[in-house]
């Protein structure tokens, strides 16, 4: 599966969308990185960049949610915490050079998890935010 950005995925046509685009691009870069051992460090660089960007994005998104009194903020924050744990687990697995699984296998599983994470969180959580934000956008 290749993750494609679609216009209907936009949330605010501002900072949140810019963050989502950056996350999307980083996930695509990770997926495009070959699963051979000589590319492990490049894959890790992308994962670490994704983690840094995701922390910034989650902070921004939670500030926006608080400012509009988003009713699902606690649930959303819990999802963010779990997603960061998941990302940390993926990084640990890719970093593990002495593992029962070779890097190619771990990389394929990480590809699937990251793409599912992005789409699942977006569909289940961020679309709720988009609909709520629409009430606060001047027309």
Q: Does residue 2 form part of some domain?
A: no
The residue segments making up the domain with residue 100 are 7-134
Q: Which two tokens stand for residue 124?
A: 């289940």
- What's the pLDDT tens digit per position in 72-116? 999 999 999 999 999 999 999 899 877 656 888 888 888 888 878
Q: Of all residues in the chain, what percent carry a pLDDT higher than 90?
A: 43
Q: Of all residues in the chain, what percent carry a pLDDT higher than 70?
A: 93
pTM: 0.87
Q: Does residue 27 form part of some domain?
A: yes
The structural domain count of the chain equals: 1
Instruction: Give every CB contact of residue 125 below 8 A, 6+ residues apart in sequence.
Output: 72, 75, 76, 79
Q: Does residue 112 form part of some domain?
A: yes
Q: Does residue 32 form part of some domain?
A: yes
CATH number, domain with residue 59: 1.20.120.50
Q: Does residue 99 form part of some domain?
A: yes
Q: Does residue 1 form part of some domain?
A: no
């Amino acid at each position: 599966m290749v993750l494609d950005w679609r216009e209907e995925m936009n949330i605010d046509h501002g900072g949140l969308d810019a963050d989502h685009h950056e996350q999307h691009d980083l996930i695509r870069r990770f997926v495009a990185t070959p699963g051979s051992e000589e590319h492990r460090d490049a894959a890790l660089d992308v994962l670490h960049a994704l983690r840094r960007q995701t922390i910034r994005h989650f902070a921004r998104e939670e500030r926006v949610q608080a400012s509009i009194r988003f009713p699902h903020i606690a649930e959303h924050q819990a999802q963010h915490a779990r997603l960061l744990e998941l990302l940390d687990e993926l990084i640990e697995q890719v970093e593990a050079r002495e593992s029962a699984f070779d890097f190619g296998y771990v990389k394929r599983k990480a590809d699937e998890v990251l793409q599912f994470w992005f789409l699942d969180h977006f569909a289940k959580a961020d679309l709720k935010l988009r609909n709520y934000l629409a009430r606060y956008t001047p027309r």
